[in-house]
């Protein structure tokens, strides 16, 4: 059986250097691919998107909180039977 010749210290350093470059290159390529796929998905996936906040616009209309989450947001407080309170309004169909 043929014997593999021993590697010199210089050869070993060169091999390690190449491995380091390969690792860094593969990492960078993976990061770029992830970012690219993310942009592609955001641009093409129908009906879903990051919210467009009115606060970033020239519009005079302000944003409101709690309207862009991933679930219908229940109120932290429960409605109470009115035994007190002020102001009167009607909620109904229109």
Partner 1 sequence: MAVTQRAWRALGTGVVVLTTQAEGAGPAARAVARVLAEVDATYSRFREDSELSRVNRQSGKPVRVGPLLYRAVTEALRASRLTGGAVDPTVGATLRLIGYDKDFSLIDQGGGPLGLAARPIPGWQLVQLSPASQGISVPRGVELDLGSTGKALAADLAAAEAMAAAGSGGVLVSLGGDIAVAGEPPEGGWRVLAAEDSAVPPTNQGQTVTIIAGGLATSSITVRRWRRGEQLYHHILDPATGLPVASPWRTATVYAASCLDANIAATAAIVLGSRALPWLEANGLDARLVAIDGSVIRSGRWPADRPAEPVTVSQAGAADDDAMEEPGDLRR
Interface with partner 1, residue 82, by CB under 8 A = yes
Residue 65 DSSP class: T
Nearer to partner 1, 3 or 56 (CB): 56
Q: Which helix (H) or strand (E) holds 18?
A: helix 9-44
**Of 40, 68, 38, the residue nearest 53 (C-alpha):** 68
22-24-30-33 Cα dihedral, nearest 10 degrees: -100
Instruction: Please list every residue from 26 through 45 that binds partner 1, using CB under 8 A.
Output: 42-43
Q: Which of 3, 4, 8, 77 binds partner 1 (CB under 8 A)?
A: 77
Nearer to partner 1, 8 or 94 (CB): 94
Q: Which stretch binds partner 1 (CB under 8 A): 7-15, 20-28, 30-38, 75-83?
A: 75-83
Interface with partner 1, residue 8, by CB under 8 A = no
d(CA 74, CA 76) in angstroms, rounded, equals: 6
CB 81 within 8 A of CB 74: no
Interface with partner 1, residue 89, by CB under 8 A = yes
Q: Which residues bind partner 1 (CB under 8 A)?
A: 42-43, 46-54, 56-68, 70-94
């Amino acid at each position: 059986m043929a014997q593999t010749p021993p590697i010199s210290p210089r050869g070993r350093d060169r091999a390690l250097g190449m491995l380091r470059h390969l690792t860094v290159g593969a990492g960078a390529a993976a990061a770029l691919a992830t970012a690219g796929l993310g942009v592609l998905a955001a641009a093409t996936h129908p009906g879903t998107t990051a919210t467009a906040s009115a606060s970033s616009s020239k519009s005079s209309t302000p944003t409101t909180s709690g309207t862009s989450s991933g679930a219908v947001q229940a109120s932290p407080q429960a409605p109470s039977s009115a035994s007190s309170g002020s102001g009167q309004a009607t909620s109904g169909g229109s």
